[in-house]
Amino acid sequence: MDMKLAVAAEIAGAMQSFPECTLNKEEIAGMLEVPPDKKLGDYAMPCFRLARVLRKAPPLIAGQLSEALEGSALFSRVEAVGGYLNVFLSRKEMAEEILSAVLSANGHWGGSDLGAGKTVCIDYSSINIAKRFHIGHLSTTMIGNSLKRIYDFNGYTTVGINHLGDWGTQFGKMICAYKKWGDRATVEASGVQGMVDLYVRFHKEAEKDPTLEDEGRAWFKKIEDGDPEAMEIFTWFKEVTLRDAKRVYDVLGVSFDSYAGESFYSDKMGPVIDSLRASGLMVESQGAQVVDLEAYGMPPALIMRSDGATLYITRDLAAAFYRYNTYHFDKCLYVVAYQQNLHFAQLFKVLELMGADFYKGMEHVAFGMVSYEGRALSTREGYVVYLDELLDKAVEKAREIIEEKSPNLENKDEVAKQVGIGAVVYFDLHNDRMKDIDFRWERVLNFDGETGPYVQYTHARCCSVLRKAESLGKMEPDYSQVTDDEAQDVLMSLSRFPETVRKAMDGNEPSMITRHVTQLAQAYNKYYFEHRIMDEHDLAGTAARLNLTRAVKEVIATGLYLIGVEAPERM
């Protein structure tokens, strides 16, 4: 049961006394508010919006609704205060309804079939070939992974796309460097770092011998022309890079349905360019080919340089048409940093001008930047934090904390991995995605406060309580024993989880789920410390409290899964 919708349904029934008002329960649910003070009710509905339709004063409307709702089993009392209708839920009935609904959902509480028959493509991570995976890729990877899980959870068919950065003259330079100074065994053994070392050497040597730049361009031309040797080396570079990246993806629990990168669209740009030219949208400007977007407050979209070279937007246009024709998406999300706001605004506008109606389902899911221990990352300055090293360090630090706090814990290595990796992911997804993140270890691995380890520990605490209760056997719950304020806070948080999941999906904002499970964990821990869960003299009350604990465990596990974090059963 979504309690908000249940309240809205009751009010919708009372609205029948106002035939001129046609609000349905979903619209009423949208009007409901949670009062800042519990003395004003569990939910409140402002009646000011109804005044014009009903031609009555808001206090009069609230009063009439209050009278119509008297006797509802869902409410212990209903009050009209000013222009507000304040409702107080019947605590015992609410506890039974919510806990029965959560536990009968079998781990799918908050899920839906809203996306049944619909497809969403999600473009995320998009690493560069022959470059190491660094902390700057964390947000795009984990936001995209979380969105894929959230949309799946709501019935959508999802297509996760890793749009690889695998096109450009740098790959000709890489082949040139490999042919001059590299060997296959060394690159195979050292992986991406071996290719990075060759690329760095190329630029050092090119400072002394500028003709190397021409050789690099010549090798890239061979890639463009499909030269067998160039393509074999280029393909191998990609295989080595993806092999290294897959190790990181496996640790993070991230997967993709497609690795079609920029090179995949090299033979698919022609029809797009032809269409732009035929429609008159593409015009010449200083030798280059552009789409003029001045009328829309944007600089021209550069489609081809004066030398005929294509750009990111050319390939993105080709990719958009390919994805729509292949997957027939209802939505296509691009999880890319906010520095690319203009690029995507231009991309979507050009598609609109081309008459590609599917542009309406395309959205740039922007996010902020990541700094490390108060310092901005800079590849040029050599200040880069590689993601595999960061994750290894997180696991190592988590292992040290576990050794100190729980020296007798079984499977310490496995739990350290769950906690360390989970702490990094949780930290990345805790704040609004548009906020910049300053990664600091003392915050990330703190077991108190709004952190991954804190929420994971709460899940483990619930599991511990339930293990201890196994010997009690099956008991009939008495839900009048979970009507105290602390239990009610937990129940309300459980009831609002489906609404949070929907909002997170609608806003492409995983942090909403992260914050919700944090608040649920806080509410349960307060309850845990204020109340004795198991009481041999009150088995019916014990059963109710155990069901509350079981529901919290399941919803925390679901919430953590949706943001890409594991839920340890022991810590």
**Short-list 76, 73, 107, 108, CA closest to 89:** 76
**Short-list 523, 517, 514, CA closest to 554:** 517
β-strand pairing of 43-46 with 84-89: antiparallel
- Is residue 131 annotated as a catalytic residue, yes or no? yes
Answer yes or no: are the C-beta atoms of 47 and 83 closer than 8 Å: yes
User: Which is catalytic among the residues 25, 134, 163, 364?
Assistant: 134
Report DSSP state, residue 56. Answer: S
Phi, psi for residue 123 in degrees, rounded to 5: -95, 110
**Short-list 128, 135, 363, CA closest to 261:** 128
Taking the C-alpha atoms of residue 48 and residue 57, their distance in angstroms, rounded to an integer, is: 8
Task: Establish how many alpha carbons lie within 13 A of residue 370's alpha carbon, considering only the half-sphere containing its beta carbon.
Answer: 24
Taking the C-alpha atoms of residue 510 and residue 433, their distance in angstroms, rounded to an integer, is: 8
User: Which is catalytic among the residues 4, 25, 131, 222?
Assistant: 131
Answer yes or no: are the C-beta atoms of 427 and 446 closer than 8 Å: no
Taking the C-alpha atoms of residue 24 and residue 544, their distance in angstroms, rounded to an integer, is: 34
Answer yes or no: are the C-beta atoms of 300 and 294 closer than 8 Å: yes
Q: Map residue 216 onto helix, strand or coil.
A: helix
DSSP 545-567: HHHHHHHHHHHHHHHHHHTT---
- Is residue 364 annotated as a catalytic residue, yes or no? no
User: Which is catalytic among the residues 137, 148, 163, 417?
Assistant: 137
Sign, Cα dihedral of 416, 419, 422, 427: negative
- Is residue 343 annotated as a catalytic residue, yes or no? no
38-43 contacts: CB < 8 A, separation 24 or more? 38/485, 40/81, 40/84, 40/86, 41/79, 41/86, 41/87, 41/88, 42/7, 42/87, 42/88, 42/89, 42/492, 43/4, 43/7, 43/86, 43/87, 43/89
Query: What residue has token string 């542009």?
Result: 359
463: tokens are 């599991």
Q: Which amino acid does the sequence have at 472? A: L
Residues designated catalytic:
131, 134, 137
